[in-house]
Chain A
């Protein structure tokens, strides 16, 4: 094959050959590589959460009564609201990907901002819940009240904070990358050619949402 610039044709990914890296032959190959890379990365993420979810599932079966008792202290309504907020943010993200593919820069930026706002709202609610938990003496290691929550309930709280904590960390990373991406689109870094990057970010964001869709029932709803 000759040098990459010889393939001056457009493709379906909303990019032209200006955005072709030197070691790829064409944009289809480049896009395929990015998607496969992202999916493989998400596979590692599934196992990352899978390890701790598996551990939680074991304790959940071993000490079911204590777990249910502990789960009682979570506010189901706040969790439900947050689930809704996150699902709407996923919708905004999906629309942002579509807008990027159609090279509508302005629309892409606004939809990314909407996603950021919704994601931050989720984190705000989460932070409120955590502060509330802290005042109730539910945080292991930081003033946990074994007298109020006897038995194995501390295990539930260990896993609750570990799971929601690493989930929140994933969200923060996603929000930071979204902000960077919005600025790059605004400064015409991609000049309408950032579709692949926005699409990969979208995959990541949907994954983070799906993790929450699992966390909500196993943490909030096991009692109901």
Chain B
């Protein structure tokens, strides 16, 4: 272990290729697959997460193609359709939305942002990537070799007694990937507690770091409950023991309680890191200190806590008692308070800021708009009477896609464009970047807004045939999905291309504030030449010397 650390001693790197930072430290395959450098592990995640995203996206396109016509024509049987949307759900949620921002940007930036040389447990970090890959490939095998038709929720007793598909294998893949998130979350919590640079007090942490702290707490407390639930499903299916099956004295509601105890907080696991990214982007491109920093940090923690108290709103129509429903309804409304704080404070940050509409900012603005719609429709669903009307319809589908895709995915794309110059040292084409942001925004709204109406007028989810009168809205939705797909394809082309033809980014292409912009792009293997000493808050855009530096960026291009 200590010998390994000697191998990537900064002194030996200076001799090789110092301008390429951690990327140029070593070029062998081994140096990537056995790396303990958090930045390289982030790139391993970026590559694998992109593959899983494309996989889940392909399944989504098949689903949308099927729904273009009222008759089942793309898939031969309803079962095949069920398998397709299960692949979509399982991959997008467990292998893309949950890990993406923490595993890629969290891994890359969190140590740099707090002035540390690495995460607290670098080898554990590498292990978590291998565990992630093992879980991913396992699930992929299960879904391709026989498929699962239960939907990503694995509701019992269908999943334990009746489904004749690869439930155990898929569930075990998710069980394994859960370990990966737990390991990453542990690493983040410990790193934030013990590895902060001198002067980096808790109230000087960037909001991105706060967001990952709150997320990690949810992961640490929630994921093990999902793990045991999935284990019980496997045990019941293997030995027919009847923990959830009423025929053996079990209780299917028990599964729903355990499952949503994790899976509702999982929504916040997905969205809180997105909040962190958006806070960084908004303050950087408005050139203003974030409005209400302590409230922004507190709101993240409040959402983390409240997130654990609202799972029952998934069960309003499950014969749960009316009084339990009322309490869960009230608690669900409460989540809107910290979420509102976030949205209003971003807006207040933009107010009278000198806003520049670069690609990351376009994504961030898209995020704020779409997340607000998603959040507000969440209030509809927290209201019991409305929930009963739209339960299990496309209204729900539209709502959670607005939150997860319109929210989390926009934040992911925004973060990718914001930190791409830091990660690679190259600038991408601003024109194509802006075009992709606009295409995704338009495509997204065309895809999912009609689904609100579809759901409201009564189209249920998970059906592959529907009455003729729903076709117009479904065709709109499918057309929007095609535009969305084009929007996602563009970055797949111009971002890799920027590695070859992109301009050299320099330390700080956006003139942003924060420790990660003070080190070279790409950063050296140990992040900083010398460990930084922090003397101020995270967003001091008003400081005179910073204003001077920004003017220099404006006038002479890159510093």
A residues at B contact (CB < 8 Å): 1, 18-25, 29, 32-33, 36-37, 40-41, 43-45, 47-52, 54-55, 58-59, 63, 140-142, 151-152, 154-155, 157-159, 162, 166
Give chain A residues whose Cβ lies under 8 Å from the Cβ of B531. Answer: 1, 25
Binds A, one of B49-57, B137-145, B216-224: B216-224
Give chain B residues whose Cβ lies under 8 Å from the Cβ of A155. Answer: 242-243, 248-250
* Structural contact, B224 and A158, CB atoms closer than 8 A: no
* Structural contact, B239 and A141, CB atoms closer than 8 A: yes
* Structural contact, B243 and A141, CB atoms closer than 8 A: no
**Alpha-carbon distance A51/B232, docked complex (angstroms):** 10
- A-B complex: 3 closest residue pairs judged by Cβ atoms: A141-B239, A22-B5, A48-B224
**Alpha-carbon distance A25/B198, docked complex (angstroms):** 11
* Structural contact, B249 and A43, CB atoms closer than 8 A: no
* Structural contact, B239 and A140, CB atoms closer than 8 A: yes
Which residues in window 112-133 of B have CB below 8 A to A?
116-122
* Structural contact, B223 and A44, CB atoms closer than 8 A: yes
* Structural contact, B195 and A47, CB atoms closer than 8 A: no
Closest chain-B Cβ to A215's Cβ sits at a distance in Å of 14
- Contact sample, A vs B, 29 pairs, CB 8 Å cutoff: A21-B122, A22-B2, A22-B6, A23-B5, A23-B120, A23-B195, A24-B195, A32-B194, A33-B190, A36-B189, A36-B193, A36-B194, A40-B186, A41-B182, A44-B182, A44-B186, A45-B224, A51-B224, A51-B229, A52-B228, A55-B243, A63-B249, A140-B242, A141-B239, A152-B249, A154-B248, A155-B248, A162-B235, A162-B243
Which residues in window 227-248 of B have CB below 8 A to A?
227-229, 231-232, 235-236, 238-243, 248
Q: Is B254 an interface residue (CB 8 A)?
A: yes
**Alpha-carbon distance A60/B449, docked complex (angstroms):** 47
Contact residues of A: prevailing secondary structure: helix
User: B242's contact among A21, A49, A58, A154, by CB below 8 Å, is which?
Assistant: A154
Cβ proximity bits B244-282 to A, threshold 8 Å, 1 near / 0 not: 000011110010001001000000000000000000000
Q: Is B15 an interface residue (CB 8 A)?
A: no
Q: Which residue of B lies closest to A22 (CB)?
A: B5
* Structural contact, A21 and B2, CB atoms closer than 8 A: yes
* Structural contact, B241 and A154, CB atoms closer than 8 A: yes
Closest chain-B Cβ to A58's Cβ sits at a distance in Å of 7
Closest chain-B Cβ to A59's Cβ sits at a distance in Å of 8
* Structural contact, A141 and B241, CB atoms closer than 8 A: yes
* Structural contact, A140 and B241, CB atoms closer than 8 A: yes
Which residues in window 180-231 of B have CB below 8 A to A?
182, 186-187, 189-191, 193-195, 198, 220-225, 227-229, 231
* Structural contact, A55 and B254, CB atoms closer than 8 A: yes
Q: Which residue of A lies closest to B189 (CB)?
A: A40
Give chain B residues whose Cβ lies under 8 Å from the Cβ of A33. Answer: 120-121, 190-191, 193-195
Given A52-B232, A155-B249: A44 in contact with B220 (beta carbons within 8 A): yes
Q: Is B1 an interface residue (CB 8 A)?
A: yes
Q: Which residue of B lies closest to A1 (CB)?
A: B531
Give chain A residues whose Cβ lies under 8 Å from the Cβ of B189. Answer: 36, 40
* Structural contact, B122 and A23, CB atoms closer than 8 A: yes
User: A141's contact among B191, B220, B240, B526, by CB below 8 Å, is which?
Assistant: B240
* Structural contact, A37 and B190, CB atoms closer than 8 A: yes
Give chain B residues whose Cβ lies under 8 Å from the Cβ of A52. Answer: 228, 232
* Structural contact, A41 and B186, CB atoms closer than 8 A: yes
Give chain B residues whose Cβ lies under 8 Å from the Cβ of A58. Answer: 251, 254
**Alpha-carbon distance A40/B241, docked complex (angstroms):** 32
* Structural contact, A158 and B190, CB atoms closer than 8 A: no
Give chain B residues whose Cβ lies under 8 Å from the Cβ of A22. Answer: 2, 5-6, 117-118
* Structural contact, B224 and A19, CB atoms closer than 8 A: no
Give chain B residues whose Cβ lies under 8 Å from the Cβ of A37. Answer: 120-121, 186-187, 190
Give chain A residues whose Cβ lies under 8 Å from the Cβ of B250. Answer: 155
Closest chain-A Cβ to B225's Cβ sits at a distance in Å of 4
Given A23-B116, A154-B242: A55 in contact with B195 (beta carbons within 8 A): no
**Alpha-carbon distance A116/B218, docked complex (angstroms):** 35
**Alpha-carbon distance A54/B229, docked complex (angstroms):** 11
Closest chain-B Cβ to A70's Cβ sits at a distance in Å of 12
Closest chain-A Cβ to B304's Cβ sits at a distance in Å of 14
Give chain B residues whose Cβ lies under 8 Å from the Cβ of A54. Answer: 258
Give chain B residues whose Cβ lies under 8 Å from the Cβ of A19. Answer: 2
Q: Which residue of A lies closest to B187 (CB)?
A: A37
**Alpha-carbon distance A168/B198, docked complex (angstroms):** 44
Give chain B residues whose Cβ lies under 8 Å from the Cβ of A43. Answer: 220-221
Q: Which residue of A lies closest to B262 (CB)?
A: A51
**Alpha-carbon distance A8/B121, docked complex (angstroms):** 22
Give chain A residues whose Cβ lies under 8 Å from the Cβ of B225. Answer: 47-48, 50-51
Most chain A CB atoms below 10 A, which of B120, B232, B238, B248: B120
* Structural contact, B117 and A23, CB atoms closer than 8 A: yes
Closest chain-B Cβ to A144's Cβ sits at a distance in Å of 8
* Structural contact, A140 and B240, CB atoms closer than 8 A: yes
**Alpha-carbon distance A126/B122, docked complex (angstroms):** 37
